[in-house]
Amino acid sequence: MAEVEPLGTWDMLWYASKVLLALIVLIPLLYSILKLLGRRLTVSRSVYGNIEVLDILPLGGGKQLLLVKLAGRVLLLSSSKDKVIFLWEVPDDEVLECQAFHLEDKSGSSIRQWLGKRRHKQQGDGRGEGS
């Protein structure tokens, strides 16, 4: 069998520089591709900043509840694969309470807590308004 000649210092530096150059080119390229794909897979962003999704509650099966701020109004929407349905508009007196609550809790369960608080409030005042 033929003996393999060991690599010299200059050969090692040449290979290391090629690997370093490849990493310098590939890492930003990979980052930009993943960023572009991430934008396409996420919820579209508002062009002028007038629409803000405050919270999302996944319900399974492609369905979710969305708490959306639109032109100063807070809306509860139901979203599925086929359609979006308006469910309820938060009254003005509860909007500030909702926004303060949203800022306090970033754990993802703020819609559940807010809806539970809303239900408890309705049951407590005896009016029993329906949804």
CB 129 within 8 A of CB 116: no
pLDDT band of residue 27 (cuts 50, 70, 90) is very high
Which pLDDT belongs to residue 129? 47
Which residues neighbour 16 within 8 Å (Cβ) at sequence distance 6 or greater?
Answer: none
SS (H, E, C) 83-127: CEEEEEECCHHHHHHHHHHHHHCCCCCHHHHHHHHHHHHHHHHCC
Q: Is the pLDDT of residue 57 over 80?
A: yes
Q: Provide the residue ranges of all domains of the chain, joining segments of one domain with +.
A: 7-42, 51-125
102 backbone dihedrals φ, ψ, rounded to 5°: -65, -40
pTM tops 0.85, yes or no:
no
Q: What is the average pLDDT across 103-109? A: 50
* 3-state class (DSSP) for residue 24: helix
Q: Which two tokens stand for residue 94?
A: 């509860």
Q: Which whole-number Å values give the CA distances from 2 to 5, 11, 12, 116, in the listed order?
A: 9, 20, 21, 78
